[in-house]
Amino acid sequence: MITVYKCKIVVLFILIAALLAGCSGNNEETSTTPSTSNEKNVVTQKDENSDLSSKAPQDIPVLDSAKDLKVTKVGEGAVRGDLYYEIQYHMETSVEKTVEQYRKILDDLGLDYADQLEEEDYSAVGSTGTWEFHLMINPSPEIEGDTIVKILYLKL
C-alpha cells in the first residue's frame, strides 16, 4: 500500500512541476482578490493575510505563522483522483519543527495517513474522509532554514 502512495506522490510532483513550468515566473502580483483564468479554471489568492476560499477544503489546517499563502484551484475535484486545490505557503521554521507540528495535527484529527521523512523532504498521504490529501514539507530554496508547505486535495 505504501508503494501506491509513493507512486501517487511521484506523479503529483511531476504534475506540480509541469504546472509550475507553465507559470510566467513573474511574482510581482500583489492582488488579494482572486484572479481567474477560464482557460485552465484556476483561481489563486496571494497574500499573507488572504483567507482561504470558502470552497477550498480546510480539513488540514494552515499553520498560524504561515506567510505568502497561495490557494490555487487546479481542477474540479469531481472524479476520483481529480486534483482539486493546492494550498502553498512559507514558514520561518525548520522542516523538522514544521513536520512535528503537522504530525501532531494529523494525529489529533485522528486521520489515517502514511508519511515519510527522507533527509529534509517530508510527505504524508492520507484521507480526511472527504478528500485524499498530500502534504509536502520541504526546505525553502530561497531562504536557508525556512520551509515551504504544500497541501494538495484530490477527490476520494
| pLDDT tier for residue 151 given thresholds of 50, 70 and 90 | very high
pTM greater than 0.75 (yes/no): no
d(CA 126, CA 65): 24
Domains of the chain: 2-21+36-155 (3.30.310)
CB-count burial class (<10 Å; 0-12, 13-18, 19+) for 132 = buried
Q: For 19-23, 133-137, 138-142, which range has the lowest pLDDT when averaged over its residues?
A: 19-23
CA-to-CA dists, residue 135 to 12, 79, 108, angstroms: 11, 20, 16
Place of cell 509550475: 20
d(CA 133, CA 119): 22
pLDDT of residue 55: 75
| pLDDT tier for residue 51 given thresholds of 50, 70 and 90 | low
* Mean of the per-residue pLDDT values of the chain: 76
